[in-house]
Amino acid sequence: MVSVDTALLLRAVEVYETDRLDFAEAYLVACAESTGVSKIASFDKTIDPIGTVERVEPRGR
C-alpha cells in the first residue's frame, strides 16, 4: 500500500481511535486540520467535541 500523505492518514487514525468517530469523519477532520480549514459542514454531531474544528449544520435551499 502506498500512502500519498502518511501524516494525514496517521492523524485520521488517531482521531478515529481517540475520539471514536467513524473513519470518514476522522479523515475529514484530519484533512481540515492539515489545510487550515476551521469549519466543517456536516450533519454528524459526533464531530462537535473535536476542539480543532467547528461543525456547522448545512442549510437547505
State residue 2's pLDDT score.
Answer: 72
For 8, counting Cβ atoms within 10 Å of its Cβ (0-12 exposed, 13-18 middle, 19+ buried), the class is middle
User: Over its length of 61 residues, how does the chain's per-residue pLDDT go in tens digits?
Assistant: 676 899 999 999 999 999 999 999 999 999 999 999 999 999 999 999 999 999 999 987 7
pTM of the full predicted structure? 0.86
Contact, 40 vs 55, CB < 8 A? yes
